[in-house]
Amino acid sequence: MVEVSAVTLVSLAAGFVNSIAGGGGLVSLPLLLGLFPAAPPATLFGTNKAAMVWGTGWAAAVYARRVRLPWATLVPALVAAAAGGVVGARLVTLVSPDWLRRLLPALLAVVLVVVVRQPGLGSVHAPRHPGRREAVLATAAAALLGLYDGFFGPGTGSFFIFFFVRVLGFDFLHALACSKLLNAATNLGSLASFGWSGNVWWHFMLPMALANVVGSAAGARLAMKHGSPFIRGVFIAVVGGLILKAGYDGSWR
């Protein structure tokens, strides 16, 4: 009962954070790993995905209704994201992700430095590569980040947002909206693989999923209300926090 209450509360917080800036996995996954150290990593990853997919999907639906999205770019990217998630989830049952856990703080630090040093980045929606090139770049990034999400996961939403802002020239609101759709696809792909292999604790999934949806709904509402400047500020704060958390999890324990 204590474990269920703990993972439910943390899933609520993870949904809130994830719906605004990504990185919800680094809120919820460490708790699962700490509560159940003897459990197979694939089972904990799968259980986390089973909860997060609902909140991410809810946030994606909110943004899709209220933000004009480049569907010609997103449709092939969604397919690639889901496929990458399936492959990544399969890999985690074969290869330990510990090396990636140690590398994550450095990757997040690069993201943080770039965003902080360019105050205007993501403030104006000015796509740099409209048309086929944008679709190709987005599809390639979606496949790579889908693979990462299925294999390890934490920070995927933040990396998606950074890609759309830095590479494609989107503002933070449009980048966030696109990232939630693609992140939902990676979650579905990886969940399909984890579920098929029996690596989901379904009795934990229901309360975690409900809490995650509530947190995501609250976060998405705030993001829509305050727009890109608010999202940018939260993004910087979240990525900074993720660097500290990932560094502790990967190197200091």
pLDDT tens readout for residues 56-101: 999 999 999 999 999 999 999 999 999 999 999 888 778 877 777 7
Closest CA relative to residue 44, chosen from 27, 54, 29, 55: 29
Distance CA 46, CA 208 (A): 13
Name which residue leads in pLDDT, 140 or 33.
140
Closest CA relative to residue 183, chosen from 67, 60, 94: 60
**pTM score of the predicted model:** 0.90
Interval 224-231 mean pLDDT: 95
Distant-in-sequence, close-in-space partners of 135: CB < 8 Å, separation ≥ 6:
72, 73, 76, 77
Closest CA relative to residue 172, chosen from 182, 189, 155, 158: 158
| Sequence spans of domains, the chain | 2-252
Is residue 251 over pLDDT 60? no
Name which residue leads in pLDDT, 4 or 14.
14
Distance CA 121, CA 236 (A): 12
Residue pLDDT, tens place only, 176-194: 999 999 999 999 998 888 8
Confidence of residue 249 (pLDDT cuts 50, 70, 90): low
Residue pLDDT, tens place only, 7-29: 899 999 999 999 999 888 878 88
Closest CA relative to residue 167, chosen from 209, 207, 135, 198: 135
pLDDT at 253: 47
pLDDT at 117: 94
pLDDT at 250: 60
Give residue for tokens 């492959």. 87
Residue pLDDT, tens place only, 108-138: 999 999 999 999 999 999 999 989 999 999 9
Distance CA 50, CA 48 (A): 5
